[in-house]
Every structure is written in structure tokens, then in C-alpha cells.
Structure 1
Amino acid sequence: MPSETPTLTDVARLAGVSENTVSRVVRNKGSIAEETRRRVTSAIDQLGYVPNRAAGSLASSSSLIIGVLLPSLSNIVFPEVLRGIHAALVSTPYQPMIGVTDYDLRQEQKILASMLAWQPAAIITAGFEHTDESRRMLQSNRIRVAELMDIDNRPIDLAVGFSHRKAGRAAAEHLVRRGYRRIAYVGHDWTADRRAFFRYEGLCDGLQQAGLAVAAELRFNGPSSTLAGRDTLGRLQQQAGDVDAVVFSNDDMAVGGFMHCLGDGIDVPAQLALFGFNGLEIGQALPKPLSTIRSNRFLIGKTAAETLLQASERAVEPHIIDTGFDIIEGATA
């Protein structure tokens, strides 16, 4: 396999066909035997080859593109990351090209291939989870890559964020210091949101250090929302009996939990303590400000973009920047 960015010539050599045949398969032009097409596409996948759509009229401006792949823009978390990226780029000639994956790794792969075809200067994506094909494309194209929001793994190039496992442990330690012992967990689907699972693992570790365990737990089978938090806490209380504190997978869920307590006349935190994650403004606007962990989302986006622009070449070893997190004591735990 080539040590530099794979080329059309490399694909042709591996597939045992001419460069013209590879070009026709890539452009889906002309009649190609199915077996030939299979060999070419297999070679493309194996090498992580991305066709250069920027060749020609856009080639001179392609280096000014920063590809940004985000899981969602429907909640405040990733728009705040995007604001940080924008703040770092606004005084430069670089422009972001934004794709939304909806937490779907296959969709990320599809958008990534489209972005790389325009030869961006760098790619910014969320988390370490990628399909094998996406990882090969990111590794073999040698452009700068920033993976955001998590630092609990080895990055391809640059990771900017914080440890979600440490955040989970910090939540446990905070509640134990406050005297809570029967601590439950209310969450949402971990399939799409692996960082929520890592925080849960950290919570379990922190409780174990104190000689405790999660007293009860229930997860909503879908994405997080205030309605999901409200309804799931209600179901947990019916099933689990007496608990004195609940850790939610994020602030959206915790705000819903607070609404459940308001509706059922449950005194927070005297009868039930609530603890969230993210430090969203809505949580601090509650009648009793939410106890939670604040992630530095704007700083994560800004730091990632600034760091990528400092050097056009990857370092020999991957680099990790820990932006940390803060406990917001609030009034609910």
C-alpha cells in the first residue's frame, strides 16, 4: 500500500485494470463489466482512495475548505461547537463545509467521501467512532483531522475534548459527598450516543469506589429529550421504589425529570435529587437551577480549528487537548 495519499494509479495497479477504467467506474460513465467494477470498488475501499473533484476550476480554492461533520444541529450542544469553529475561522480565509450525520456512521462515511473529494485542508468530526471505510479515508489522505468531544481513545491526528468517564466519576463523587446513597440512572439510547455510555461507566466506577452501585436504572429507547426524561423518570419511580438521587444522561433528560417532579409534587432535592450533564442554559433557568456538569463546547470547537490551522502537516504522534469540565453545584443535588 502507498505511504502517501492513494492515487488513481494506485487503485488501477491494485485492481489490475487501466487508469481509464478506474476513472470510468468512479464517474459511473460507460459500460463496465460487473466483475471489473467490483475489483475497482474493492481496491478503492482497501486503499481509502477519494477522487479529487476539486481538480480544475476549484483546485485553487480547495485548500480553504474545512470539512465539519457533526452528529446533530437540533440541540444546543453541537451548534455551540460550531460557533467555536466559526470564531476561529472568521478572521481567516478558510470556510467550513458542514455535514450532519444524525449519529449514523454510514451517513458519516457518505458525507466524508463527498467532502474529501473536494480536497479540504482539514476535517473536523465528533468522537472516535467511524466505519472502517471512513477511518481508512481519514488515515490515508493525510490531511489534518480533529476528533472532538472525547479524549478517552487514540486519535487519528488531533483530539480535543474531555474524558466522559472522568465526568461520570465526578458526578458520582459529587453526590456521594452530598450524602446520597441510593443513586439511580435515567438515560437515553447508547447505540447512537456512545459518550453517554462512557459517562455511565464512569458513574458506576465512582460509585464502586465509594462502596456503592447504581440502585436502579432505566433508559429510553431513543434520542434524549425533555419528554423522554419526564416519562422515563416516572416509569423508574414506579418500578424502582425508593431512591434519593437520579443521574440523567444529559440536561435535556434532567429538565424533563424536573418537570415530572413538579407535576407529581416531589420536592427537589429534599425528596429526590437530580443531576444532569452539559450545563445547558435551560437547566439553569429552572425554578431551582440544575446541578450538572458543564462541558466547554465553544472552547472545544475554537481550540480544534485554531490548532488545525497552526500546522498543515500531521505530527508524528497524535495530539490530545483536554479542555476539561466544571461541576455546576446548582440547587437540585
Structure 2
Amino acid sequence: MERSTARRARKNTGRVTLSDLAALIGVTKVTVSRALNTPELVSVNTLERVRAAVQQTGYTPDLIAGSLASNRSRLIVALIPAMAGTVFQETVEALTTGLAETGYQLLIGQSGYDESREDALIDAILGRRPAGIVLTGVVHSQHARQKLRESGIPVVETWDITREPIDMLVGFSHEKVGKAAAQHLLAQGVKRAAVIAPGDRRSQVRTQAFLKAFAKGAATDPAVAIPVVTIPSPANMGDGRRGLASLLDEHADIEGIFCGADILALGALIEARARGLDIPRELRVVGYGDLNFAKDTDPPLTTIRIDGTRIGKLAASLLVDRIQEGEVDQRVVDVGFKLIERETS
């Protein structure tokens, strides 16, 4: 009889509802809801019956209906440029853990590196009314910024810096990263440098800052451009090999190279070794990201470390405080970065 009722529920509605469970067990919807959400308020016998019915029917709670009824969503949406982008993994893991500890679930979306899609993606997110939004980078579309502000949904922009965040921000200066890479190579005595970098906006900010700082520090002729190879985002190891090959074929006197991603630096190291170059005596290499393989390359890679875990933890904390308290003590947090000096420079 109980199984027949469960089958009819699935056939008529497509899913087992709270009402179906209540009818199946012979109790009220309120009792079932208490058993699922506040089990300490029901008897052990009732709790066991509800759990048995849930297991039998495969019932799953309707979180959307629940959030509408309470007017509070427990869903946080985060947009990252690429699922395969390991540079963001630490942030996603810390964000997931930090939100889960306070009862929020994280939904991750892939935004890609094409900023022209920004408005459409943000419209899609706002239409679902999440409790909060985490964005990778600073939103530049004025239309999107206005809609986000008017939505009333707490927003944290990450992995970048701006004086005018939409709401909250946890990030660092890409301009300072590029400058730091240039100053490091200059300190190592490099007089002729080059760049291999992804083409996304944040990477290009680093590149332009590097070019400006290196040209100034090396006192080079302004008419002589520092060679740059730009790679479509997301980049891969082969791009690094081909990028360095192209640079060396045309500029054999290059002494140092700044790679806008560690995966490009890895490819560059492989190409340098294939050509018999001595790293760092003949070519110094600096990466960006300090990914998990950076310390294990041959030789170990000098790179710029971003504390992705701290970014994720702070973003989660700010969002939860903003959602639950309405205010936060600090709206903008600059986590900075660290140049990790190893044996490639």
C-alpha cells in the first residue's frame, strides 16, 4: 500500500512532495518538516518513520520552494573564468568550505574570459535571486554594475582591485604584480626582457605594468619595444613552448622573460631545455600563480604567489556577515601577493 502511494506520487507530479510523505506516514506536513529540519522536536519513533519513508521514496527537499516561503535563499553563486583554471582552485575550495560551515551552498558557473558576455551572465544570475554573488575580477560594464547595485544582493568582487567596488572586494593589484616581476628581473641584471602572457584583461594589466617598469629601470630606448607574445585565454603548456620559440627565433639576445601564467612558464622551461639553454645563466624566467607544480619544475620556478585560500575565506566571511548582519567592518581587503624566488631567476 505504501509503495503504491509513492509510485502514484511520482507518476502524478514527477517528484515526491512533502505532502506525499505526510500522507504515506499518516502524519501532518508540519510533523514531517520538523523531522527533516529540527529532528530534536519530534519523537524517535516519528523520526525513524520519516527517515524510512525518505529512503523508500527517494524524497529530496524543494530548496527553491523553501527559500521562497522564507524569502531567504541559501544559495551563493560564484563565477570563475574557467573550470580548468587551477589558479582559482584554492579560492573555490576555501569559498565552498567557508559557506558550507554557515549553511550556504555554492553554485559555480564558468564565465570564460570574454567580458562581452558579462551583462547576459549577470542578468541570468540576478533572475535566480541568490543570497549572494562572488565574481572573479572587477565588473567593468556600467550597465551590469548598476543592476547589481540595484538588486540588493550582496556582491564580492575578487582577484582584482578597484577604488569603487560594487559592494565588497577581496583582491590585489595586477599592476603591482607586473611591476614587481620587472623589478626582480632588473635586480638580477637582466637588460633585455620579453613577455609571454594570456590575452585576458587582468593579464594585460600585468603585462603593461611590466613593460613600463622594465623600460624605465633598464633605461632602454623608448623606440625599441620589449617583445610580447599574447596567448588566447586560457593558455596551456604548448603555448609557452611556442611562445618562447617565437621570441628566441626573432630576439636571440633575450636574457629574461615574464610569463603571465605558470603553465606558460612551464612550457617556456621545456623549450629552453630543448634548445640547450642554461636556466638561469642564459635565460631567467618568472611565472605567475605559484601553482602546485612550480616548486617541482627543473629548475624550480620563480613565480608570484597569490593567496587564493585567503581570498576564498575572506569572500565567504564577508558575504555571510553582509547577508546576516547587513553590514561589514571592512568592504575592501587587499590581500597583496608575494614573489617566490627560486632557481629560474
Q: TM-score range by the shorter chain?
A: 0.7 to 0.9
C-alpha contact 1:157 1:315 (8 A) present in aligned 2 = no
Quick one: distance in 2 between partners of 1:314 and 1:174? 43
Matched, 1:114 2:127: no
CA 141–317 in structure 1, closer or farther in 2 if over 3 Å, else same: farther
**Which ranges of structure 1 fall in alignment gaps of 5 or more residues?**
1-53
Contact 1:62 1:118 in 2 (8 A): no
Partner residue, 2:343: 331
Contact 1:62 1:119 in 2 (8 A): no
CA–CA distance in structure 2, aligned partners of residues 135 and 185 of structure 1: 32
1:127 and 2:137 equivalent? yes
> Residue 186 and residue 56 in structure 1: after superposition, are their counterparts in 2 closer, same or farther (change >3 A)?
closer
Q: What is the deviation of 1:216?
A: 2.3
Partner of 1:245: 256
Report the TM-score when normalising by structure 1: 0.77
Structure having the higher helix fraction is 2
Question: Which amino acid is the alignment partner of residue 343 of structure 2?
Answer: A
Q: 1:209 to 1:59 in 2, by over 3 A?
A: farther
Quickly say closer, same or farther: Cα 1:141–1:250, change in 2 above 3 A: same
Task: State the alpha-carbon separation in 2 of the partners of residues 106 and 183 from structure 1.
Answer: 32
Aligned to 2:315: 304
In structure 2, do the counterparts of structure 1 residues 317 and 105 end up closer, same or farther at CA, with 3 Å as the change threshold?
farther
SS at match of 1:247: strand
In the alignment, structure 1 residue 227 sits paired with structure 2 residue 227: no
How far the C-alpha of 1:217 sits from its partner, in A, is: 2.1
Q: 1:314 to 1:196 in 2, by over 3 A?
A: farther
The answer for the alignment partner of 1:154 in structure 2 is: 164
Give the partner amino acid of 2:207: Y
- CA apart distance, 1:315: 5.6
1:39-87 CA-to-partner distances (Å, cap 9, x unmatched) read xxxxxxxxxxxxxxx6887443742111111111112112221111012
CA apart distance, 1:114:
2.8
3-state SS of the aligned residue for 1:184? strand
**Is the alpha carbon distance of 1:186 and 1:105 closer, same or farther for their aligned partners in structure 2, counting shifts above 3 Å?**
closer
Q: Supply the distance in 2 between the matched residues of 1:234 and 1:268 (Cα, whole angstroms).
A: 15
Report the secondary structure of 2:106's partner residue. Answer: strand
> How many residues get paired?
278
CA distance in 2, matches of 1:314, 1:167: 33
Change (3 A) 1:96 1:86: same
User: Is 1:180 aligned to 2:190, yes or no?
Assistant: yes
The 2-side partners of 1:317 and 1:303 are apart by 12
| Aligned with 2:79 (options 69, 94, 97) | 69
1:200 aligns to 2:210 (yes or no):
no
Contact 1:155-1:318 at 8 Å conserved across structures: no
- C-alpha separation in 1, matches of 2:279 and 2:206: 23
Equivalent-residue separation in structure 2 for 1:209 and 1:57 (angstroms): 56
Residue 157 of structure 1 contacts residue 314 of structure 1 at CA under 8 Å; is this kept in 2? no
RMSD of aligned Cα (Å): 2.4
Pick from 267, 289, 292: which aligns with 1:278?
289
Find the structure with the greater CA-based Rg.
2
Q: 1:254 aligns with which of 265, 290, 293?
A: 265
Q: Percent identity?
A: 33
**Contact 1:148 1:161 (C-alpha < 8 Å) held by counterparts:** yes
For residue 188 of structure 1, report the CA deviation from its aligned partner.
2.5
Q: Which has the higher contact order (CA 8 A, sep 6+)?
A: 1
Q: Quick one: which amino acid aligns to residue 270 of structure 2?
A: M
Query: Which residue is 2:59 aligned to?
Result: none
Query: What is the deviation of 1:299?
Result: 1.1
User: 8 Å contact 1:229–1:255 — kept in the other structure?
Assistant: yes
Residue 136 of structure 1 and its aligned partner are, at CA, apart by: 2.5
Output the TM-score relative to the length of structure 2: 0.74
Which amino acid in structure 1 is aligned with residue 168 of structure 2?
Answer: L
Mark the CA change 1:76 to 1:183 in structure 2 (over 3 Å): closer, same or farther. same
Please, which moves more after superposition, 231-240 or 302-311?
302-311
Which residue identity is paired with 1:248?
C
Matching residue of 1:142: 152
Q: CA deviation at 1:275?
A: 0.7
Q: Does 1:269 align with 2:276?
A: no
Matched position secondary structure for 1:281: coil
